[in-house]
Amino acid sequence: MTLSAPPTRSLALTPQLYINRELSWLEFNSRVLHEAFDARNPLLERLKFAAIFSTNLDEFYMVRVAGLRRQLAANVTVTAPDGLSPQEQLDAISTRVRELLAQQQRLLHERLLPELAERGVRLVPLEELTASEWVRLDEYFEKQVYPVLTPLAVDPGHPFPYISNLSLSLAVEIRDPMTLEDHFARVKVPRSLPRWVKFGRANQFVPLEQLIGINLRALFPGMEILNWYAFRITRNSDIELLQSEEPDDLLETIEEQVFLRRFGEVVRLEVQTGTPQSMRTLLIEELRDDRLPPNATLTEADVHEMGPLLELGDLRELAQLEIPELRDPPLVPTTPPRLRGVNGGIFDVIRQGDVLVHHPFDSFQTTVEEFIERAATDDNVLAIKLTLYRTSGDTPIVRALTEAAESGKQVVVLVELKARFDEANNITWARQLESAGVHVVYGMMDLKTHTKTCLVVRREADGIRRYVHVGTGNYNSKTARQYTDLGLFTSNPEIGADLSDLFNFLTGFSRQRHYRKLIIAPGDMRERFLALIERERVHAREGRAARLIVKMNALADPAMVAALYAASQAGVEIDLIVRGICCLRPGIAGVSDTIRVTSIVGRFLEHSRLWYFLNDGSEEYYLGSADWMPRNFERRVEAVTPVEDKLLHERLRMLLETYLRDNRNAWVLGPDGCYTQLRADDEPEIATQLIAVTSTWGSSPVGP
């Protein structure tokens, strides 16, 4: 049948049918925290999840909460699709976060740390140290810590010091014995030193802030130290580029914004349990931004009491201790059979048939990095074009691109400077690539280039041929070991031509919206996906089998939610495997009876995006970089490719079926917005990520 745009009579999306985006994200982070509670996970892995919960929450406050507070400051009264105003969302967020933080504190101090102590991993109270251990710590403080510290007094001659985002500090109460006057001082706990200080016992540590606190007299000689309390702040850290302004130099603009980020308003204050109200009030008064209206700046409602330890993201350092029995068994990625022993002939293999890879189970090094490295050294390769959203250090990919440019190949790299919290890193690599002769493009003012694509142009006996990699994950060797992602290698001429057109759009002047095979944002991606859903709806309405399976990180676009509701009402069987935010309510009688929503949270971060449409038996699979969120359709450059090689369909079908059978890491969303974790009970336990370790999803027989 002909693929056409859906009719305009789509189901009205009332607030009751839409789950709030921010609250849905908090439920995802709750599932992350649950992994720290789950005794089926090794102890250090549980500690890792407790740390991830904290770092996730940091970013949530820096961006999402900060954005809501900015709306208050601007007197925005428009409600979210679920009907909540900015203030109502902030109130609901505060309530839920406090519940989750209380759970985290109980978990950490009543279960995790005591259980780890039984296995020899401890944070040791200072009063337990022996005399010889004190000697060792005193020497460490004098030689390594003291020279780095800078005490900052607050008095009429010394204004309250600048406090950097997410930095751990000590608020110190001091008394001058000569005048009996009390003073306040701040001491920053330096990030340049290990947070967990070794003192001689294997796998046992003292928190750095406690070592500093016990030695404060060395910083304030002649003064009486009354008390000290740890505190930490979170600032608005979202970079804002005004769409009305066209910067002459985007690189310079981003650098300026990264610098200004340091001075964003404070949106959260974390304090140590026991911090007196007088100290809390002093900190609030000094940290509040008087330029903002009272309802948008720091108040007591923004103070979180965090127990004896702050900066819990640092627990991830302890989680990396080399104690095999307390950690997951190591994953050893494999090379897909078709790519084993090809001796540099990776292009010959791809020319014979498409290759599917599934990371981290398939090696990123022997697939994606090998593809780019071979392209860099192959004399027949004329050009390499690649989008770089996030990368990791001096990687083989960066070195290969540099080598290719130096050898005279045309190398174009789109470096996305607006990749959140990776801006400074990307600026560094952009300049290194430029210095080697790579043509570096910095993206566009009003669009973030999120697509994960690589194009290799090669001269062959029968003419010019394009080789393509389209993936769901970044060209980042570190996250390729931690995230699950899919990638497709193909020499399909139409996909190659589409990718050439996409790079021309990114590097030149083009208003192209329609492509041969690829589904591209900000072109017609939303319309194309709506049309695919509508096609299934029509099949169901006409009595034919209709089915769709969607695997993504997030579903928040109101138009897509409404289209899925309409398809469900027509009888389409729908499975949504959505790791994080899901604003759709499944299982509502007469609205979403046929929709099931599952979230997989486990050892690896589920990051792949995959779509399946039954299409009356002519099945279609797609993979790519986009979630179904307004930003992906409207403010990002995204690419989704069809997977047309029938030999790969069976692999993808098996993968999706395994996700839907998971009873180990799967959570099911109810119509009330609450998630319930599936349990195997008396049935065999099925964990998608464990099955994938022993499977070869990317290995397909040689194509025809």
The predicted structure's pLDDT at residue 206: 97
pLDDT in tens, 54-90: 999 999 999 899 989 888 888 887 888 899 999 999 9
> In this structure, are 230 and 156 located in the same domain?
yes
Domain's final residue, options 487, 507, 527: 507
> In this structure, are 503 and 556 located in the same domain?
no
**For residue 92, is pLDDT > 90?**
yes
pLDDT in tens, 191-206: 999 999 999 999 999 9
Domain's final residue, options 290, 321, 352: 321
pLDDT in tens, 528-582: 999 999 999 999 999 999 999 999 999 999 999 999 999 999 999 999 999 999 9
Q: Residue 659 corresponds to which amino acid?
A: Y
Domain's final residue, options 101, 136, 162: 101
Nearest to 38 by CA among 46, 47, 28, 27: 46
Domains contained in the chain, number: 4
Q: Is 218 left (phi over 0), alpha (psi -120 to 50) or beta?
A: alpha
Q: Is 408 left (phi over 0), alpha (psi -120 to 50) or beta?
A: left
For the record, the structure tokens of 451 come out as 């697509």
The predicted structure's pLDDT at residue 201: 93
Report, as an integer, the average pLDDT of 436-464. 86
The predicted structure's pLDDT at residue 420: 53
Q: Which CATH number covers residue 239?
A: 3.30.1840.10
Establish if 700 belongs to a structural domain: no
Residue located via tokens 């070869």: 696
Establish if 217 belongs to a structural domain: yes
Local confidence band at 422 (pLDDT 50, 70, 90 cut-offs): low
pLDDT in tens, 5-36: 444 344 567 889 999 999 999 999 999 999 99
Report, as an integer, the average pLDDT of 612-628. 96
Q: Which CATH number covers residue 600?
A: 3.30.870.10
* Collapsed DSSP state (helix, strand, coil) of residue 261: helix
Residues recognised as catalytic: 450
Local confidence band at 218 (pLDDT 50, 70, 90 cut-offs): very high
The predicted structure's pLDDT at residue 79: 83
The predicted structure's pLDDT at residue 506: 84
The predicted structure's pLDDT at residue 240: 53
> In this structure, are 140 and 90 located in the same domain?
no
- pLDDT > 90 in the chain, percent: 70
For the record, the structure tokens of 188 come out as 């920053």
The predicted structure's pLDDT at residue 261: 45
For the record, the structure tokens of 38 come out as 């789950």
> In this structure, are 273 and 384 located in the same domain?
no
Establish if 563 belongs to a structural domain: yes
The predicted structure's pLDDT at residue 76: 80
What is the extent of the structural domain holding 598?
Answer: 519-693
Q: Is 27 left (phi over 0), alpha (psi -120 to 50) or beta?
A: alpha
Local confidence band at 343 (pLDDT 50, 70, 90 cut-offs): confident
> In this structure, are 341 and 223 located in the same domain?
no
The predicted structure's pLDDT at residue 471: 96
**What average pLDDT does the chain have?**
88
> In this structure, are 486 and 369 located in the same domain?
yes
Task: Tell me which of 304-308, 310-314, 346-350, 694-698 is least confident.
Answer: 694-698
> In this structure, are 162 and 299 located in the same domain?
yes
Establish if 275 belongs to a structural domain: yes
Establish if 115 belongs to a structural domain: no
Establish if 331 belongs to a structural domain: no
Cα torsion 549, 551, 555, 557: sign: negative
> In this structure, are 443 and 556 located in the same domain?
no
Report, as an integer, the average pLDDT of 308-323. 95
Local confidence band at 258 (pLDDT 50, 70, 90 cut-offs): very low
Q: For residue 658, what are the contacts with CB-CB under 8 A and spacing of at least 6?
A: 686, 688, 691, 692
